[in-house]
Amino acid sequence: MTITPRAMGVAVDRFDGAAKVRGEARYAYEQPVDRPLYLYPLTAAVATGRIADIDCGAASAEPGVVAVLTYRNATRTAAIEDGELRILQSDEVAFRGQFIGGVVAETSEIARHAVSLVRVDYEERPHDVELREGRGDLRVPREVQPIFPMDTAEGDVDAALASAPVRVDQTYTTAWNNHNPIEPHTTIATWTGDRFTFYLSTQGVNGIQAAVAALFELGPDRVRVISPYVGGAFGSKARPHADVVLAALAARLVPDRPVKFALTRQQMFSQVGYRPPTVQRVRLGADAGGRLVALAHESIEPTSKLQEFAEHSTRATPTMYAAPNRRTRQRLAALDVPTPTIMRAPGEASGMFALESAMDEMAIACGLDPIEFRIRNDAQRHPHFGLPFSSRNLVACLREGARRFGWDGRDPTPGIRRTAGWLVGTGVAAATYPVLRLPGSMATIRVGPDERYTVLIAAADIGTGTWTALSQVAADALGVRVEQIDLRIGDTAYPKASNEGGSSGITSWGSAICEAADRLRDELARHGGAVPADGLEVTAAMPENPHISRYAMHAFGAQFAEVRVHAEIGEVRVRRQLGVFAVGRVVNPKTARSQLLGGMTMGLSMALHEQSVFDPRFAQVVTQDLATYHIASNADVGAVEVHWIDEDDPYVNPMGTKGVGEIGIVGAAAAIANAVHHATGVRVRDLPITLDKLLPAA
């Protein structure tokens, strides 16, 4: 079932790199279309209530305005479950900033100006937007992935905690984070005759196709979605959001004319989801030998009233450490806010900040080195499922990282290293991410007598290099050179593919391609080994993986950080980050390294900077641009070293890969917070670690 690596493992330059650098790669919004119109949205100015009246007179009269869209003239869409997509169906307002209409005009400037001329009167209702621990209406989220239950329990946690000689009981919080890919969400929607064509920036053309088909009650064959290049996504482009629906509704009003729609940076803060803030309580109990006897991790988060989403921040916990008594609990409060969504390592990124900070606190409480403490508590079998791991190299990552980082001989005493006014400290944290495979991918392979292989799959490359890496997989699956492969992605005209998400792309799409390659070999054998004159074509679906029920499949890693904290001013500078990962086979060392490095950088950003300030009075993120929502700048990023260990896992998939897109962010914030503690003696449990938290009190 495994394929032999020849192209895999080679640092092939990304195929689209040069075109992107030269500006020749045409992104969705830049596709040449005939006689385009431009859409600008009208957004709700209250958090909850109903629209009492809309006066579009002045906007309609503006020269260049072609249509003004409101719930009054919008196409009635089907009552699908995802309330986030059911816009313009009534006069109700569910959150501030929600799309309640739009103007379609000959230029984007006219459209934007005309929107400011629309007068809306509201009947406002009081809104409920505050996440608090004591809320009576906290609920257990619906299970999205039954293999990771929302709540888990084993043994008697309370009794074990009560009798444990060493205890840690702390609450950690993470901030509201917003996705800010360079390319905002963009769409060109055209309604012609009885069908839609979309160019858009997405992590999954088939997901968009399915949502639009369902909403407008069309056969999927009447919705074509093309996503040529994607300028970053981080999860915001994984599921369809209301921007696509608004563009589609607008296109319905102006048949045959392409409607172009790009969100502004400000709109990105309310329209495309976000990583919800979390409040997490972690309780650990250990015996005198530094072995965990109890572990409880509880998280509460907001979701919207429109559509449930849970940042499953306790998800990684039952995978990490062997404690006989364990409990995880996940609770949600449904508020009058925009709907949160997946953002790079949803769950793990926030949850492992809490767990790995608590592990550091516990190591200190036990008087143990934090690496040694983790090694003592490493799980041999999956603590929750009881299954062996297909491969688990957390300890190897910690050891290799310690060696490369220069951890040995570290004095654990906090607050004693100083250089030129800066306090110096080092920290470590573990990382993990599950090997996910999403169902539903198919691939077609065509070969002609010229021995060129065309591989078709509606997969997505969101800037990660997947297009290139997947071509390497195809080459090895077929036993040919990469140059013989012409892989095409990003179009619903190709066989259906699962979304890009959960670091599952190579696993899911690669498995489908391997299966198709097998079939093609069978076909070739049937033709006596030679490609017939009119070529061959096969299509295959991703097969089941029989090992899934026998093994727990996870990637692991170890994150190290060295920080300096200004002793008088509290500024934090991360001098070094070092990550060692066990992610199975690395298909393309160059693009994989970029993914891990990007993840670690995003983790630094999450640790020190990223925070959407939500003003409850206005029910709105008020830091809604890149001058107030800070992302790590180049100057914030120190030396970043990325390593991986050789890991041969025959069970995960035919390639032996585990996914590299997300694990890089996991644990990075905890490593930095732990290093800040080592530097200063101050334990910051609330992200981001801003300088006010480290400024000396006197």
Which residues carry out catalysis? Answer: 662
Q: Which of 92, 143, 378, 636 binds another protein (CB under 8 A)?
A: 636
Helix axes 348-366, 589-608, angle to 10 degrees: 70
CB 521 within 8 A of CB 515: no
* 3-state DSSP assignment of residue 391: coil
Assigned token pair, 361: 């606190």
- Using CB under 8 A, which of the segments 141-149, 194-202, 376-384, 628-636 binds another protein? 628-636
* Closer by beta carbon to another protein, 363 or else 619: 619
Binding to another protein by residue 58, rule CB under 8 A? no
* Closer by beta carbon to another protein, 163 or else 266: 266
Q: Which of 252, 609, 678, 685 binds another protein (CB under 8 A)?
A: 609
CB of 627 to another protein, least distance (A): 7
Binding to another protein by residue 80, rule CB under 8 A? no
If you compute the radius of gyration of the chain from its CA atoms, what whole number of angstroms results? 26
Binding to another protein by residue 633, rule CB under 8 A? yes
* Closer by beta carbon to another protein, 514 or else 640: 640
Residue 425: strand pairing partners: 563
Binding to another protein by residue 576, rule CB under 8 A? no
Binding to another protein by residue 61, rule CB under 8 A? no
CB 104 within 8 A of CB 37: yes
Q: Which of 20, 112, 575, 683 binds another protein (CB under 8 A)?
A: 112
CB of 604 to another protein, least distance (A): 10
Q: Total binding residues for another protein by CB under 8 A?
A: 37
Residue with tokens 């996940």: 330
CB of 680 to another protein, least distance (A): 15
Cis-peptide into 688, omega within 30 deg: yes
Binding to another protein by residue 696, rule CB under 8 A? yes
Backbone angles phi and psi of 424, in degrees to 5: -115, 140
Residues of span 243-282 touching another protein by CB under 8 A: 266
* Closer by beta carbon to another protein, 66 or else 592: 66
- Using CB under 8 A, which of the segments 161-169, 577-585, 606-614, 650-658 binds another protein? 606-614
DSSP class of 354 = H
* Closer by beta carbon to another protein, 114 or else 352: 114
- Using CB under 8 A, which of the segments 26-34, 455-463, 490-498, 622-630 binds another protein? 622-630
CB of 163 to another protein, least distance (A): 41
Q: How far apart are CA 424 and CA 239, in angstroms?
A: 42
Contacts of 333 (CB under 8 A, 6+ apart): 131, 132, 135, 137, 138, 139, 300, 301, 302, 303
x/- site string to another protein, residues 385 to 424, per CB under 8 A?
A: ------------------------------------x---
- Using CB under 8 A, which of the segments 24-32, 48-56, 210-218, 631-639 binds another protein? 631-639
Beta strands in 324-371 (DSSP E): 325-335
Q: Which of 6, 113, 125, 305 binds another protein (CB under 8 A)?
A: 113
Report in angstroms the alpha-carbon separations of 193 from 69, 145, 196, 255, 579.
20, 39, 9, 7, 54
CB of 503 to another protein, least distance (A): 28
* Closer by beta carbon to another protein, 218 or else 631: 631
Binding to another protein by residue 55, rule CB under 8 A? no
Residue 65: strand pairing partners: 105
* Closer by beta carbon to another protein, 530 or else 627: 627
CB 599 within 8 A of CB 420: no
Q: How far apart are CA 89 and CA 78, in angstroms?
A: 10
Binding to another protein by residue 639, rule CB under 8 A? no
CB 560 within 8 A of CB 667: no
Contacts of 531 (CB under 8 A, 6+ apart): 447, 448, 449, 451, 524
Q: How far apart are CA 138 and CA 131, in angstroms?
A: 10
Binding to another protein by residue 130, rule CB under 8 A? no
DSSP run (H or E) holding 521? helix 505-526
DSSP class of 598 = H
Q: How far apart are CA 491 and CA 474, in angstroms?
A: 18
Interface ranges with another protein (CB under 8 A): 45, 109, 112-113, 116, 266, 421, 568-571, 573, 608-609, 613, 615, 617-618, 620, 622-625, 627-628, 630, 632-636, 690-692, 695-697
